Amino acid sequence: GAVVSQHPSRVICKSGTSVKIECRSLDFQATTMFWYRQFPKQSLMLMATSNEGSKATYEQGVEKDKFLINHASLTLSTLTVTSAHPEDSSFYICSARGGNGYTFGSGTRLTVV
Amino acid sequence: RKEVEQDPGPFNVPEGATVAFNCTYSNSASQSFFWYRQDCRKEPKLLMSVYSSGNEDGRFTAQLNRASQYISLLIRDSKLSDSATYLCVVTHQAGTALIFGKGTTLSVSS
């Protein structure tokens, strides 16, 4: 079946630094990638939608200059959290649209200290 | 008001119990409907799609009422392994982003 590999699974970084999260579709072409964020005991909230080769579309309230999304190929999309702060600590997860349905990465737990 | 609302939970039931989860969605243009399961600190996994005619998969039965904008999930003969958070999910159009409810936590005990 379709697999999306997401790395890193867990990262701790210092406040003010940047963190890059990668999602790779291993056996299918991900034409669209959705990025979500989930705070404890909350629902997965859509942050942005990216299509290969074009700029991402961000949801209301999500700062595009803070959360940089790149989808340069059909198998790789990245989310960079720039100048991270403790309030950015969350579970970030990608979901690829391509092939048969939606395939999720395993998620990245970001802790900013 | 959130677009997808679910029972707050948590539901604590003994093994063998039958439990029902409810969900309502606010956008009448929603096209597709799903139940996902999420284990602690893991990615959500598709449990089943939901159709207007209702559908069943083993111990799980899902129902959709488009007129009431209401979705349900029934779990019969609960197992310990059913303990998880159940997420009600909709999409507006085929291929667009999944929109998640907050989830309802189920704890099945022996």
B40-98 pLDDT per residue, tens: 989 999 999 999 888 999 999 999 999 999 999 999 999 999 999 999 999 998 789 99
Q: pLDDT confidence of A38, banded at 50, 70, 90?
A: very high
Contacts of B87 in chain A (CB under 8 A): 43-44
Contacts of B98 in chain A (CB under 8 A): 34, 44, 46, 95, 102
A49 and B103 within 8 Å at the Cβ level: the answer is no
Q: Is the pLDDT of residue B8 over 80?
A: no
The minimum CA-CA distance between B4 and chain A, rounded to whole Å, is 10
User: Smallest Cα–Cα separation from A78: which of A36, A29, A35, A17?
Assistant: A35
Q: What pLDDT sits at residue A99?
A: 64
**pLDDT, mean of residues A36-63:** 93
Q: What pLDDT sits at residue B72?
A: 97
- Write the residue in A46, A97, A105 that is nearest to B95 by C-beta: A97
A92 lies within 8 A of chain B by CB = no
What is d(CA A68, CA B36) in angstroms, rounded to the nearest whole number? 28
Interface test with B, best of A43, A45, A77, A111 (most B CBs within 10 A): A43
The DSSP line for A70-93 is EEEETTEEEEEE-S--GGG-EEEE
Q: How many Cβ atoms sit within 10 Å of the Cβ of residue B16?
A: 11
Interface test with B, best of A32, A38, A41, A44 (most B CBs within 10 A): A44
